[in-house]
Structure 1
Amino acid sequence: MEYFQVMQTPLGKVTLLSDGQSFLGCWFENQKHFGGKYDLTKAEESDTLVLQKAKQWLTDYFAGKAPEIATLPIKLKVTSFQQQVLQALQQLPYGHTVTYQQICHLITDDEQRAKNLSRAVGHAIGANPFMIFIPCHRVVGSDGSLTGYAGGLARKKALLTLEEADFQE
């Protein structure tokens, strides 16, 4: 069984999903890829312990703290390549940005392969089922500019501003 909660944040409502043991995802209302690979219409509204922890994590985050993702029992329902990309994203420190190409280099030492991975990395980042928690908002263009974000560029800018990260508008 899957359980959900909707939480109001400073950037709008987010839907949090759990299976009771693990945290399965977080999506902004009306974002691209809402619900990811889950059918949220089949989930039951319930305030499980996992969802309580996720809500506390978000509360701390929006209060300007840098909560650790390791405190949540995350379960990824993604391909092995997406998992590599999301694991690389989890290494990004609060308040820092990285380019798509730098992510490519984090997942392979092969220079030629890294050059060809940008599009696939971008797709994996765009389908991230853990908005904010796995910080895809910290990925910027090669010139430091804001690029795509499934939650919308205004939210991406707000998240980076909260973290006092450097980026180009």
Structure 2
Amino acid sequence: MTVYAYYESPLGKITMEAEEGALTGLWFTRDSEREMTESDSKIFDETKRWLMDYFAGKSPDFMPELRLQGTEFRNIVWNILRTIPYGETVTYGAVASEAARRMGKTRMSAQAAGGAVGHNPICLIIPCHRVIGSDGSLTGYAEGLWRKEALLRLEQTGCI
């Protein structure tokens, strides 16, 4: 059964989604989104603790249990994102190169990697906001480029 809870962050309300004790979704709540019935769960307590540490400008030293539901390619890309250190960025091209390497291919397009990055179901914890354009531009963030900029500023200076 899918259950939901919410977290009020400095950048807006966040929706958390879980199934069978594992986090399956985390996103900034959209204004048009209907409110769902909240549920209590240990995974939500852990996720809220992770979010509190993160928004306090700290790199959380633990990871809530995640359950990623996607294609093999998307899961490879999402696992690459999980390796990007707090406060650092990588390009879509670098993500594509690493995905190609892990899949035994000679190359992959940055656009293909970008598509998988854009379908990341668990924002912040799987840090898709740390992926930037080859020219250093802050491109392609479903949660809003203003949030991407604020998150990177938080990680680099400790304040939003």
TM-score by length of 1: 0.84
Deviation (angstroms), 1:2: 1.3
Q: Structure 2 residue aligned with 1:72, among 49, 55, 64?
A: 64
Instruction: Please give the root-mean-square deviation of Cα atoms over the aligned residues, in Å.
Output: 2.0
Q: Secondary structure at the match of 1:130?
A: coil
Does the aligned pair in 2 maintain the 1:20–1:50 contact within 8 Å? no
Q: Structure 1 residue aligned with 2:125, among 133, 136, 146?
A: 133
Deviation (angstroms), 1:48: 0.4
Which amino acid in the other structure matches residue 163 of structure 1? E
Unaligned runs of 5+ in 2: none
* Aligned equivalent of 2:155: 163
Query: Which residues of 2 match residues 137-156 of structure 1 at below 5 A?
Result: 137-156=129-148
* Aligned equivalent of 2:18: 18
Unaligned runs of 5+ in 1: 35-39
* Aligned equivalent of 2:83: 91
Identity of aligned residues (%): 43
- For residues 71 and 158 of structure 1, what CA distance do their matches in structure 2 show? 22
44-53 vs 128-137, which moves further: 44-53
- For residues 106 and 44 of structure 2, what CA distance do their matches in structure 1 show? 42
- For residues 63 and 161 of structure 1, what CA distance do their matches in structure 2 show? 12
Deviation (angstroms), 1:44: 4.4
Which amino acid in the other structure matches residue 139 of structure 1? V
Does the aligned pair in 2 maintain the 1:20–1:48 contact within 8 Å? no
TM-score by length of 2: 0.89
- For residues 125 and 104 of structure 1, what CA distance do their matches in structure 2 show? 10
* Aligned equivalent of 1:55: 48
Which amino acid in the other structure matches residue 43 of structure 2? V
Q: Secondary structure at the match of 1:147?
A: coil
Aligned positions, number: 154
Deviation (angstroms), 1:64: 0.7
Does the aligned pair in 2 maintain the 1:2–1:44 contact within 8 Å? no
- For residues 138 and 96 of structure 2, what CA distance do their matches in structure 1 show? 18
* Aligned equivalent of 2:27: 27
